[in-house]
Amino acid sequence: MSFDLQLIIESLPVMLMGIGITFKLLVISGVLGLLLAICLLLMRISGLWYLNIPAQIYIYVFRGTPILVQIFIVYYGLPQFESVRESIFWPILREPTGCAILALSLNTGAYVSEILRGGVLGVDKGVLEAGSALGMSAHQKFIYITTPIATRLALPAYSNDVISLLKSTALASTITIADMTGIARTIVADTYAPYEIFISLAVVYMIFTFGLQKLFGIIEGYLGQYTKRE
Amino acid sequence: MSIPENRPLIQMQNVNKFFGDFQALKNVNLEVRKGERIVVCGPSGSGKSTMIRCINRLEEHTDGHIVIDGNTLTDKVKDINAVRREVGMVFQNFNLFPHMTIVKNLMIAQQLVRNTSKNDARETAMFYLERVKIPEQAQKYPIQLSGGQQQRVAIARALCMKPEIMLFDEPTSALDPEMINEVLEVMVDLAKEGMTMICVTHEMGFARSVADRIIFMDLGEIVEEAAPEEFFDNPKSERTKKFLSQILSH
């Protein structure tokens, strides 16, 4: 079996034209998912059953179903409802990109909220008691003690989820989006050279991941200054 | 040492505390006057820590009355905060905020709870760091300090709030032996200045030299309450005698 280097050199720039869309899917879904995760987290730890239980159900549903199925439900399913088509969200949901971002955000939000909760549970109770003993209110303790410590604790698992989200963006190609994977699939359909194209695609994702790893490494080093003895 | 005849700062009347079915405090009655120095001792699980943690409501008592400087402890957040502003606490495990520098540890509650300006908070923080003799550590993080230094910072942090009462919950139990004295010295200085203190501790030398009264607890009850000489030389209860013989035999 031959390995067509020329084909790789020719198709790499074409595939990289999709990097903008991949990046857009990652960043927008990542940010929206994080905001959703924070809301879910606050519901989970509110101590109020009517907030806690809906959040638990949400997390269960979105962790319990494949992300591909969620993308299909949003893209193929929602437009069937007239109320959706008449809502203010229709301009977003009419576009495959909007659907992909919605599905990815809803999905990653469920996972990230549990990651954040792990961080919150990891905060030493004694330190919070010290805050209470000094007269700090529950809100003050949450903002000044729990949040910074929990963020640091949750970061490694969170970076894992962001990397996972990067790979999930490839599923957007199944609903006609021309991200890197979408373009690669088109090239493969034209050239019948899946080996060369998909391997080079995989390498591009690995480079992307490497960049994310480095970025989170820097953030971890910055937030973790207080954990180093010298 | 004479007991100062000042107003009572802490009054506990018939206080009971349950953890589920387990009774941690049984009918505890205690009165502490301003300027008094109380040492609480007793075997592990006797309710010593639970008792002092009820004073600033880190534990909620099940029934009975606790009045701190005129404020009755109830469920009301306002009452609890009023009490916590008057009561400083030092923990066995220091419990410094790990993500803040030492000086920040001392400033944060002043700024948030007392609404002190940043500059004033910093000034107060440095004043008390001088007093516990580690001003040079101000910019470090807690993990970079020894246990003894961390505990002195914790004491300074509590003092920054200008409390009327200081509670010490086994402040030297987590320390290496060579660091115990530096912490006890700070506590002795505080006692000399007339701070109202309740110390749960096993440091019997400290108890003998500093305490106005020693309280011995066992199984959630106050078994014996006496001045140090009386307590060590002529204990009345069999349980006290047994405890003393166990801890003083070496």
Q: What is the pLDDT of residues B151-185, one digit of tens each?
A: 999 999 999 999 999 999 999 999 999 999 999 99
Q: pLDDT digits over A56-114, tens only? A: 999 999 999 999 999 999 999 888 888 888 888 888 888 899 999 999 999 999 999 99
Cβ-based neighbour number of residue B70 at 10 Å: 12
If DSSP codes are grouped into helix, strand and coil, which group holds residue A85?
helix
Task: Determine contact, residues A139/A211, Cβ cutoff 8 Å.
Answer: no
User: Where residue A97 sits, what CATH number does that domain have?
Assistant: 1.10.3720.10
Number of domains in chain A: 1
Range of the domain at A72: 5-227
Rounded CA separation B231/A81 (Å)? 82
Burial of A81 (C-beta count, 10 Å sphere; 0-12/13-18/19+): exposed
A225 vs B141: CB contact, 8 Å cut-off?
Answer: yes
What mean pLDDT is predicted for residues A14-32? 94
pTM here?
Answer: 0.89
| B85, A135 contact by CB (below 8 A) | yes
β-pair partners for B33 = B8
B125-136 pLDDT tens trace: 999 999 999 999
Residue A1 has pLDDT above 60, yes or no: no
Please give the pLDDT value at position A86.
85
- Judged by a CB distance cut-off of 8 A, whether residue A190 touches chain B is no
How confident is residue B1, by pLDDT bands cut at 50, 70 and 90?
Answer: very low
pLDDT average, residue stretch B25-50? 94
> Nearest CB to B95: which of A130, A144, A227?
A130
Contact A40/A120 with Cβ under 8 angstroms? Answer: no
Instruction: Judge whether A130 is closer than 8 Å to chain B, CB to CB.
Output: yes
Mean pLDDT within A115-133: 96
Is B84 near chain A, with CB under 8 Å? yes
CA distance A212 to chain B (A): 25
Of A130, A136, A152, the CB nearest to B91: A130
Residue to test with chain A: of B68, B81, B89, B99, most A Cβ within 10 A: B99
Question: Averaged over B9-19, what is the pLDDT?
Answer: 94
Rounded to an integer, what distance in angstroms lies between the CA atom of residue A223 and that of residue B99?
Answer: 9
* Residue showing tokens 């009975």: B64
Chain B residues with CB-CB distance to A131 below 8 A: 97, 109
pLDDT score for A217:
95
User: What are the backbone dihedrals phi and psi of residue B179, each rounded to the nearest 5 degrees, phi first?
Assistant: -105, -5
Q: What is the pLDDT of residue A117?
A: 96
Q: Do B91 and A129 touch (CB under 8 A)?
A: yes
Contact at 8 Å (CB) between B205 and B10? no
The amino acid at residue B16 is N
B100 touching chain A per CB within 8 A: yes
